[in-house]
Structure 1
Amino acid sequence: MEGRKLTSVALILIFLAAGIGASIFAPSSQNFEWDTSVVRNVTVVANSSNLFALKLFNEIRGNNTIFSPLSIWIALAMAYEGTRGPTAEEMRKVLNFPENKTLLRETIAYIMRNFAGGNGYNLTLANSIWPNEYYPINESYVNIVKNYYDAYVRSLNYQSPERAREIINSWIQNRTNGRIKELIPPGYLTKAMALVLSNTIYFNASWVEKFDYRMTWEEVFYTPHGEVTALMMHKTAKFGYAEDEDVKVLEMPYKGERFSMLIVLPKDVKIMPQITLEKINAWRRNIKESLVEVTLPRFTIEKYYDLKKPLMSMGMYRAFYNADFGGIGPDLYISFVVHKSYIKVGEKGTEASAATAVGIPSGISPHEYIFNANHPFIFIIQDKTTGAILFMGELVDPSS
Structure 2
Amino acid sequence: MSVCSGLWERELSEESTDRRTFLGKKYTKVVMMHRAGLYRFHEDVDNMVQVLEVPLWGGKASLMLLLPFHVENLARLDKLLTLELLSKWLKRTAVTSAAVSLPKANITSALSLQLAALGLTDAWDQKVADFSGMSDQSKGKLHLGGVLHWASLELGPKAGKGEADLEEENVEQPKMFYADHPFIILVRDNATGALLLMGALDHAEGELLHDEL
1:340 and 2:150 equivalent? yes
Asked whether the equivalents of residues 240 and 287 of structure 1 are also in contact (C-alpha less than 8 Å), the reply is: yes
Higher relative contact order (CA 8 A, sep 6+): 2
Equivalent position of 1:237 in the other structure: 37
Offset of 1:272 from its aligned partner?
A: 2.7
Offset of 1:295 from its aligned partner?
A: 0.8
Counterpart Cα distance in 2 of 1:252 and 1:303: 22
Equivalent position of 1:257 in the other structure: 59
Counterpart Cα distance in 1 of 2:145 and 2:20: 45
Q: How does 1:265-344 map to 2 (within 5 A)?
A: 265-270=67-72, 272-273=76-77, 274-308=80-114, 315-316=117-118, 318-319=119-120, 323-324=121-122, 331-332=128-129, 334-344=144-154
Larger Rg: 1
Offset of 1:255 from its aligned partner?
A: 4.7
| 1:344 alignment partner, SS class | strand
Q: How does 1:200-239 map to 2 (within 5 A)?
A: 201=1, 203=3, 205-223=6-24, 225-239=25-39
Matched residue type, 2:155: V
Asked whether the equivalents of residues 218 and 230 of structure 1 are also in contact (C-alpha less than 8 Å), the reply is: yes
Counterpart Cα distance in 1 of 2:105 and 2:95: 25
User: Greater share of helix residues, 1 or 2?
Assistant: 1
Matched residue type, 1:300: N
TM-aligned CA distance change 1:303 to 1:216, over 3 Å: same
Asked whether the equivalents of residues 266 and 272 of structure 1 are also in contact (C-alpha less than 8 Å), the reply is: no
| 2:51 alignment partner, SS class | strand
Question: Structure 2 regions of 5+ residues with no counterpart?
Answer: 130-142, 161-186, 188-195, 197-213
Counterpart Cα distance in 1 of 2:2 and 2:67: 26
Asked whether the equivalents of residues 111 and 148 of structure 2 are also in contact (C-alpha less than 8 Å), the reply is: yes
Q: How does 1:125-164 map to 2 (within 5 A)?
A: none
Offset of 1:202 from its aligned partner?
A: 5.0
Per-residue CA deviations over 1:88-134 (Å, capped at 9, x if unaligned) read xxxxxxxxxxxxxxxxxxxxxxxxxxxxxxxxxxxxxxxxxxxxxxx
Asked whether the equivalents of residues 238 and 291 of structure 1 are also in contact (C-alpha less than 8 Å), the reply is: yes
User: Greater share of strand residues, 1 or 2?
Assistant: 2
TM-aligned CA distance change 1:255 to 1:338, over 3 Å: closer
Offset of 1:233 from its aligned partner?
A: 0.5
Asked whether the equivalents of residues 303 and 340 of structure 1 are also in contact (C-alpha less than 8 Å), the reply is: yes
Per-residue CA deviations over 1:356-376 (Å, capped at 9, x if unaligned) read xxxxxxxxxxxxxxxxxxxxx
Question: Structure 1 regions of 5+ residues with no counterpart?
Answer: 1-200, 355-400
Number of residue pairs aligned between Structure 1 and Structure 2: 142
TM-aligned CA distance change 1:349 to 1:307, over 3 Å: farther
TM-aligned CA distance change 1:253 to 1:331, over 3 Å: same
Counterpart Cα distance in 2 of 1:207 and 1:280: 22
Asked whether the equivalents of residues 233 and 295 of structure 1 are also in contact (C-alpha less than 8 Å), the reply is: yes
TM-aligned CA distance change 1:324 to 1:213, over 3 Å: closer
Alignment RMSD (CA, Å): 3.1
Asked whether the equivalents of residues 254 and 349 of structure 1 are also in contact (C-alpha less than 8 Å), the reply is: no
Matched residue type, 2:52: L
The TM-score with structure 2 as length reference comes to 0.57
Matched residue type, 1:259: A
Offset of 1:206 from its aligned partner?
A: 3.4
| 1:282 alignment partner, SS class | helix
| 2:88 alignment partner, SS class | helix
Counterpart Cα distance in 2 of 1:203 and 1:234: 20
Per-residue CA deviations over 1:239-275 (Å, capped at 9, x if unaligned) read 1101212210011112522111100112243353121
TM-aligned CA distance change 1:231 to 1:324, over 3 Å: same
Matched residue type, 2:64: L
Quote the sequence identity (%): 23
